[in-house]
Amino acid sequence: MTLHYVDIIFQIIAFLFAISVHESAHAWMANLRGDPTARMLGRITLNPIKHIDPVGTVLLPLIAAVTGFRLLGWAKPTPVNPRNFQNPVLDDVLTSVVGPISNLVVATAATVLLVGIKLTSPAGRAAVYDPVHAQSALGPLCFLLFEFLEINVLLAVFNLIPIPPLDGSHVLRHFLPESIRQVYDMAGIFGLMAFIYFAPNLLSKLVDPVLRIFLVVLNA
């Protein structure tokens, strides 16, 4: 199996885990804030089958694998009934932002593990800085951890963009007048598709500075 296919497999593993953590976090927080809808549907789970969306979890990652573009996608949205929230605005915001936060937690955990491997031995250090050519089992492990780091940062930043239906929009929309909010919600999906297909470089400019913070910590 060539390195290219190993990279694709590792990306898919990291992506499925990332979206499962993300959606589970939404479901967990919604339940904590008074809405049991997602919990009752079994969405507080790391089983990716529960979170698969035909387009965002299957089609887009396959396109990325074939074309070599940066892997990007989404899971089946976590069902939330705001009427069950005691504080609709605060609870909606908390339920939304906990998804990206959970991805940053995973990225942090991957970085901590990489730092730990780097400090264990010369072989560990070599595996972290050049996982492809490392002469030990630590090489594939570090390769996978780097995928976990990059993909979780990507999903966290992407979902914080304030374009409906992304998580960041659930923060911004509460500050908009009702008339503008309705247009904002309806036009969001078109803005999202335009962003994905017409401004891919902008996403990199948003993701790369955040990813660089983790790499600075790793290289310290």
Active site residues: 23
Q: Cis peptide leading into 165, omega within 30 of 0? A: yes
**What does the DSSP 8-state code read for residue 76?**
P
Per-residue buried b or exposed e for 124-140, using 16+ beta carbons within 10 Å of the residue's own CB: bebbbeebeebeeebbe
Distance CA 169, CA 184 (A): 9
Residue 39: CB atoms within 10 Å = 15
DSSP state of 87: S
| CA–CA gap between residue 26 and residue 95 (Å, rounded) | 5
Query: Amino acid identity, residue 109?
Result: A
Neighbours of 200 (CB within 10 A): 12
